[in-house]
Amino acid sequence: MVSKLSFKGETKRKKHGHKKRKIPLLDSERFSVNNELVTLGEIDRNRLKRCNWTTAANYDDIKDGEPVLIAMERKDNLGVINVTDGDKVTISKESSLQVKSVGECINFTNGASIDLANKVQRVEPTLPNQVLIAVDVENLVTNGDKNEHKVKYIALKDGRSSSYLSHDPETHLLTLSKVLTDNEIFKLEHVPSARSNFSICIKANNDYKLIVTDQLVLRVIEDPENLLDDLNNFNIRVQLVNSEPARKIIDLLNGENHNKDEDTEERVSSAVKELIKAGIKVTNQVLRETKRAARENWLNEYIVELKEKTVTDRGV
């Protein structure tokens, strides 16, 4: 039987009593994986099992209460936003991060080609303080804000202290706050490129943007004329289990495996009936060999050989 795929660290789902549903094989459907259009059968299942983090393909990948990694690359300087033990919001640099090899990564393209040569597309955290928790605050956003072109509003929480990242309007630094106001709400705009996927600004005043300099210095700077857009691009990474494209692929692959298993069971059942009809005793060993032959697609040959051997042994 083909083992069911699951995400690394994912808890097992409870089984329900509803009827099994067949999912058709979708070799004709294509998925954009690492900038290549591939069919379901061409996707590397082992890589799916090994991969922990992936670049968010769209707003839906950023889920309430789930971890996110806010990374950036400036002139080959790689970093992620983190909260220090002293509750300061700074940038963790490459020396404290893990950069996976190209062969270990899976990213899903949505609107722009992802360049895996960029380390920011392959970075993963090594410390808990490098990971933030996304908080859905759409219910706190007025209808006027929601009517603008598609954006997403979130708060970002430090997982250890449960404090929110906050814009201090006096110092224009990011600090921590226990309360949630417009200064703790960030507006994300999906602007995919080879090395980033989102721009980030402060909801309280959209002219104030999250800026990381080429030297990886974090600031909040007023930029109404968009002169600093090159320093306001971030690559938000999420755990693979929270990626919508990954979840769809995993479900389809598990559905394909289920179909194969059902087909194998049906062929084994039919073969057993044929052997019994031919007067052949189906022992445990014969049943095991029949199942193996069905899985390896040489069931017909096995049945013919078994019938011939039985005839010979009987001396007919």
> pLDDT of 210-229, one tens digit each?
999 999 999 999 999 999 99
Q: Tell me which CATH code domain 30-242 carries.
A: 2.80.10.50
Percent of the chain exceeding pLDDT 90 equals 44
What is the per-residue pLDDT for 27?
A: 54
pLDDT at 300 over 70: yes
> pTM higher than 0.75, yes or no?
no
Q: Picking from 26-30, 153-157, 160-164, 300-304, which range would have the lowest pLDDT averaged per residue?
A: 26-30
Is 25 a residue whose pLDDT tops 50?
no
The answer to whether the beta carbons of residues 257 and 2 sit under 8 Å apart is yes
pLDDT greater than 60 at residue 8 = no
**Is the pLDDT at 144 greater than 80, yes or no?**
no
Residue 2, pLDDT > 50, answer no
User: What pLDDT does residue 195 have?
Assistant: 87
Mean pLDDT calculated for residue range 104-133: 89
| Per-residue pLDDT tens over the stretch 263-291 | 678 888 888 888 888 888 888 888 888 88
Q: Is residue 150 over pLDDT 80?
A: yes
Mean pLDDT, the chain, integer: 84
Kindly list the domain boundaries of the chain, sorted by start residue. 30-242, 259-314
Of 49-63, 245-259, 290-304, the least confident: 245-259
